[in-house]
Chain A
């Protein structure tokens, strides 16, 4: 097994795309100055995150095909 292939398999296994979508965090505060709701903690500047997002779309489609 080549080095690149091992790295690819590791990269695939480490793509934790099931837990990628984080729920919206709403902040309830009684004060006048409230924090803006944080939509996502993901750093979309990270190329790995962008790849994972694309992967999650395809995986959802695959699961949909399996269920149908």
Chain B
């Protein structure tokens, strides 16, 4: 059913830009400034039993490890724990740690390392095909091709009718 009344339960456009500079956690200096400090933080956090149970549940639902690692590092960036650069650097380590947790729990998880675009047809392939087709068409006389195809059709034409022999 279509809701005709306007909804005001949404952020005002540009709302994120009006907060005072430094009011957001990611605008303040990070809590962990080096990769080592960030790894130490994650190790202590992710090896807790509560976290491990949650991670195993999420992995069982089919969420890829790469996506989960990305979410964890991004949430830490939002909390002001570390910078985005350190998050990207630490992410492979997080993936390895998540895989270890999955292995230890005996969960069949998705790694998310497969390239989703691998089986897709590239747009450049179509462009290449179209160019070849156009070149081929330009090099041949269209009228000649039509005549050739007509001749072929006449040759292929099989006898039709009720008494025609089946092949």
A8 touches which one: B34, B39, B92, B97 (CB < 8 A)?
B92
- Report the separation of the CA atoms of residues A51 and B112 in the bound assembly, to the nearest whole angstrom: 20
Q: B100 and A11: CB pair below 8 A?
A: no
Q: A55 and B93: CB pair below 8 A?
A: yes
Q: A47 and B103: CB pair below 8 A?
A: no
Residues of A within 8 A of B36 (CB): 50
Q: A58 and B93: CB pair below 8 A?
A: yes
B66 touches which one: A12, A58, A62 (CB < 8 A)?
A12
Q: B88 and A55: CB pair below 8 A?
A: no
Could you tell me the distance in whole angstroms from the C-beta of B52 to the nearest C-beta in chain A? 14
Could you tell me the distance in whole angstroms from the C-beta of A52 to the nearest C-beta in chain B? 8
Q: How many cross-chain pairs have Cβ atoms below 8 Å apart between A and B?
A: 65
A62 touches which one: B34, B35, B69, B100 (CB < 8 A)?
B100
Q: B39 and A62: CB pair below 8 A?
A: no
- Report the separation of the CA atoms of residues A48 and B69 in the bound assembly, to the nearest whole angstrom: 17
**Would you list the 9 A-B pairs with minimal beta carbon distance, nearest first?**
A47-B35, A12-B92, A8-B91, A58-B96, A55-B96, A5-B70, A11-B92, A62-B100, A51-B93
Could you tell me the distance in whole angstroms from the C-beta of A56 to the nearest C-beta in chain B? 9
Interface string of B96-113 (1 = CB under 8 A from A): 110110011000000011
Which A35-68 residues have C-beta < 8 A from chain B?
47-48, 50-52, 54-55, 58-59, 61-62, 65-66
Q: What total of chain B residues lie within 8 Å of the partner, measured CB to CB? A: 27
- Report the separation of the CA atoms of residues A54 and B112 in the bound assembly, to the nearest whole angstrom: 21
Residues of B within 8 A of A12 (CB): 66, 91-92, 95, 113
Q: A8 and B69: CB pair below 8 A?
A: yes
B22 contacts A by Cβ under 8 Å: no
Closest residue of chain B to A51 (Cβ to Cβ) is B93
Could you tell me the distance in whole angstroms from the C-beta of B142 to the nearest C-beta in chain A? 44
Q: B113 and A9: CB pair below 8 A?
A: yes
Q: B103 and A62: CB pair below 8 A?
A: yes
B74 contacts A by Cβ under 8 Å: yes
Residues of B within 8 A of A5 (CB): 66-67, 70, 112
Residues of B within 8 A of A51 (CB): 35, 39, 89-90, 92-93
